[in-house]
Amino acid sequence: MSDDFSVFWRNNERASALFYDLLARAERGAYDDDFLAQLAAYREAEPTSERADIFAAKYLLHHGDAENAAVCAERAYRKRPVNYEVWLLLADLYARLNRPIDALIMQGYAYGLYGAPQFSFHLDEDQLREGLGRLSIALGMGKGAPLTKVRAVIREQGLQFSTDLFIGEPLPLTMPPHYSRFWAASYTDYYLSDQGIMLDHNRHTDAFSTYGYRAASFQLQQAEEVRGPSEIQIPAETTAIVPIAGTSHLQKLTITNAGASHPLYLGKWAFSLFRLEGSAHITPADDRPYAIGTPIPLEHSPARRKLVLNILVDGLSWGVIRTCFAECMPNTARFFARGTIFDQHFSVSEFTYPSLPTIETGRYPAHTQVFNENDSHELPLDIKTLSESMADLGYYTAAPLGAADCIYSGAMRGYRTLNAEPWTLPSADMAERTIRQIEAFNETDQFLYLHTTDVHPWNPKGFKFYPATETHLPLTQRVFEVDENVTSVHLAQLPVYQDHFWRSLSCVDRHLGYLFSYIEAHFDERDILVSLYSDHGNSVFTMPVNGSVDVIAENATHAVWMMRGAGVPEGHIVSELTSTADLYPTLGTLCTFPVADDIDGNLPAVFGGKERDAVYSMSMFPGQTYKLAVRTHDHALRLETLEKVDEDGTVDFADARVGIYPRGHELDENHVVDSAELRAFFCPRARDFVREIANNGEFWPSMRAARPKWFSGQP
């Protein structure tokens, strides 16, 4: 029978029946030949399901083959790394295979998200620091590095949790080969030790963990922590910059370089930069630890540009500003008039946490599996990030101002230096820090990442609006009741939010103008590549639908992307459809780093690629319904599930609501269009997009039971 797409999704009933049969057998411990036969049938019916690998691992474990069981369980983890059943299985297997730290990480994921089971582990003395550090990250959220929800410590009473952060120590994260871990320090422009001393005083207080962290600034530097004398290896006749940080106020070292010795006085948890000619020897005054950053060679290459600059303006909607761009952002419009502007650019996600890894890897959240901000698993090392790729080309990779999001996930692991802010990212600081960075390292080729949140909307309870917004709006528009739990993507279309946006946008443009003027004065066009983009749009310009904010509406996902520099056509406004996943392959082509064949990003036609026929925006937020928009130039398919997304990102698409609308009239039932031709175009694309997160109505009872408010009455 031909598919007329009148029903968007039909679950595989045979596969579902096999799943529940296997589940019942597993609960009885009936791991016999009949179980194997059913498993073979299930794998044939659902060849890509991680649930088959989970059952296979359970079977092998029951029969004492922990090693091969782990192979199956790890295959399931690769596809579904935010899954309670997988975590419990791997925790058991790793303990049996004498991998106690890996077992503890899996226990931490499970306990952090579900509050169970209780911990059971044994670490040798030399494993404690690493194991407890890994556990601290596993227990917490995926954003906010170097902050933690809690730090795990061993005291007389056993395992305890304390309010704390990572500071003056390496972050216990998995790094690529030949990369040092990030060493967490404070960021300072003036007195070296002041911030470190204040952090040390406040780190265990509720006041800091609840409020004070927002004002903290951190610098994460790839560095090695050492005690005692050390050697800094730099090739002969090479000049390099070396960051060095202390762990106490005015910590004294003696450095010998180029035949002369000099005293150094370091700050507590703050990096200072030193210019060295060839290798150097350090002699400390005592045995207190200190950190030596990865040396930064000072050299240019004709194969590289002198400056590749990525600027993320968080929450800037092109749909809102496109008709007044030259008036509301004159400095930015003037700068990119000599480049290419993408007029139909859409974000894949509606908020930063899943969107940033998409930009940094060229992969949708279904493939990064970074979507649940209450989870902190790491991207596999074979997923090459943008910063890693640029570092491989020889660029000094740094973020003069960046969010603390997505550091724990590994999406930012290729940056040698990350100045991370847990909350606000002012454009004034962004511009000035960037110019200082460019000046400091003008003898080498730099890849810089910037992030500002000036135009991002925030819940107004306790928030300071732009001063001119507060002084110019009447009380009737300035003051109102608000639920402090409403997230930014659900903020309503109110004058105070919109006024704050426009005034903050002028502020952003003013500071970008300062930065752009500096770049134009100091670089030739052939030596730069500048990209300005946003990670999502803005909800406060979105019309409500049936009383609710449409989180993937056009203004909420119609994002900004513009480029200028060597290899970028000049004076183009491009109408082809583009996605936030497309920046990665575009930089790969322009900067000449290899791009994997299996990414989701597409090279735009303007750079020699092929035009997309559709772009995808979706909301994959646990505890809420899954929402999808598939857009062409003229129409949009909109989908919403009846069921909520589970913690692992899966959802049942049976009975999902689907409609096709003209662009500009999405979710307006007075404008719904339905034709065999449109269904034949949109439905296969939408099905392919959601297939990897479709659960076929197959649920793990332990996960459903833990979320009764989401899945009331389900197994």
**Residues 292 and 314 placed together within one structural domain of the fold:** no
User: DSSP assignment of 467-488, as one string?
Assistant: HHHHHHS-HHHH-----TT--G
CA angle 185, 191, 192 (to 5 degrees): 30
The answer to the question of residue 619 being in a domain is: no
361's torsion region: left (phi>0), alpha (psi -120 to 50) or beta?
alpha
CB within 8 Å of 163: residues ≥ 6 apart: 150, 151, 203, 204, 205, 206, 208, 209
What does the block give as tokens for 186? 């404070």
The CATH number covering residue 179 comes to 2.60.120
What pLDDT was estimated at residue 1? 43
Task: Report yes or no: 617 and 628 within 8 Å, Cβ to Cβ.
Answer: yes
CA distance 264 to 275: 13
- pLDDT per residue over 426-449, tens digit each? 999 999 999 999 999 999 999 999
CA distance 459 to 243: 38
For residue 283, the number of C-alpha atoms closer than 13 Å in the C-beta half-sphere is 7
250's torsion region: left (phi>0), alpha (psi -120 to 50) or beta?
left
DSSP letter assigned to residue 125: G
**Residues 606 and 686 placed together within one structural domain of the fold:** no
The CATH number covering residue 37 comes to 1.25.40.10
**Residues 482 and 421 placed together within one structural domain of the fold:** yes
The answer to the question of residue 223 being in a domain is: yes
Of 297, 324, 342, at which residue does a domain stop?
297
CA distance 618 to 629: 6
The CATH number covering residue 325 comes to 3.40.720.10
**Residues 287 and 390 placed together within one structural domain of the fold:** no
**Residues 412 and 492 placed together within one structural domain of the fold:** yes
CA distance 35 to 57: 12
Please confirm whether the linkage preceding 117 is cis (ω < 30° from 0). Answer: yes
CA distance 165 to 528: 38
CA distance 304 to 308: 9
Please confirm whether the linkage preceding 457 is cis (ω < 30° from 0). Answer: no
The answer to the question of residue 7 being in a domain is: no
- pLDDT per residue over 9-55, tens digit each? 999 999 999 999 999 999 999 999 999 999 999 999 999 999 999 99
- Whose structure tokens read 């999902």? 656
**Residues 417 and 543 placed together within one structural domain of the fold:** yes
CA distance 589 to 595: 8
For β-strands 446-452 and 417-421, DSSP reports them as: unpaired
**Residues 261 and 330 placed together within one structural domain of the fold:** no
> How many other β-carbons are positioned within 10 Å of the β-carbon of residue 154?
12
DSSP letter assigned to residue 569: P
The answer to the question of residue 8 being in a domain is: no
CB within 8 Å of 13: residues ≥ 6 apart: none
Q: Count how many domains the chain has.
A: 4
CA dihedral 30, 32, 37, 41 (to 10 degrees): 30
Give me the amino acid identity at 383: I
- The beta strands (E) that lie in 42-86 are given as none
The answer to the question of residue 620 being in a domain is: no
> How many other β-carbons are positioned within 10 Å of the β-carbon of residue 164?
19
**Residues 379 and 523 placed together within one structural domain of the fold:** yes
The answer to the question of residue 187 being in a domain is: yes
Closest residue by Cα to residue 230 from 272, 288, 180:
288
CA distance 631 to 132: 46
CA distance 495 to 176: 47
> How many other β-carbons are positioned within 10 Å of the β-carbon of residue 71?
14
Task: Report yes or no: 496 and 477 within 8 Å, Cβ to Cβ.
Answer: yes
C-alpha 711, offset from chain centre: 28
**Residues 343 and 395 placed together within one structural domain of the fold:** yes
233 by Cβ neighbours in 10 Å (0-12 / 13-18 / 19+) ranks as exposed
687 by Cβ neighbours in 10 Å (0-12 / 13-18 / 19+) ranks as middle
CA distance 244 to 274: 8
Specify the DSSP element, H or E, that contains 612.
none
Please state the φ and ψ torsions of residue 158, each to the nearest 5 degrees: 105, -150
Task: Report yes or no: 564 and 338 within 8 Å, Cβ to Cβ.
Answer: yes
For residue 42, the number of C-alpha atoms closer than 13 Å in the C-beta half-sphere is 24
Q: 449 has which bridge partners?
A: 310
CA distance 668 to 702: 39
**Residues 293 and 314 placed together within one structural domain of the fold:** no
The answer to the question of residue 616 being in a domain is: no
CB within 8 Å of 711: residues ≥ 6 apart: 643, 644, 646, 699, 704
Of 128, 153, 178, at which residue does a domain stop?
153
Specify the DSSP element, H or E, that contains 354.
helix 352-361
Q: Give pLDDT < 50 ranges for the chain.
A: 1
Give the range of the structural domain holding residue 700, as residue numbers without chain letter: 625-705
Helices 66-79 and 50-62 cross at an angle (nearest 10°) of 160
Q: How far is CA 635 from CA 240, 507, 610, 629, 632, in A?
A: 54, 35, 20, 10, 5
Closest residue by Cα to residue 530 from 312, 315, 374:
312
476 by Cβ neighbours in 10 Å (0-12 / 13-18 / 19+) ranks as exposed
User: DSSP assignment of 517-570, as one string?
Assistant: HHHHHH--GGGEEEEEE-SS--GGG---BTTB--TTSHHHHBB-EEEEETTSPT
Chain length of the chain: 715
CA distance 659 to 639: 7
Largest CA distance in the chain: 84
pTM value? 0.96
**Residues 193 and 260 placed together within one structural domain of the fold:** yes
CB burial readout 259-271, b (16+ within 10 A) else e: eeeeebebbbbbb
What pLDDT was estimated at residue 715? 53
DSSP letter assigned to residue 286: S
Of 99, 121, 153, at which residue does a domain stop?
153
The answer to the question of residue 158 being in a domain is: no
**Residues 382 and 279 placed together within one structural domain of the fold:** no
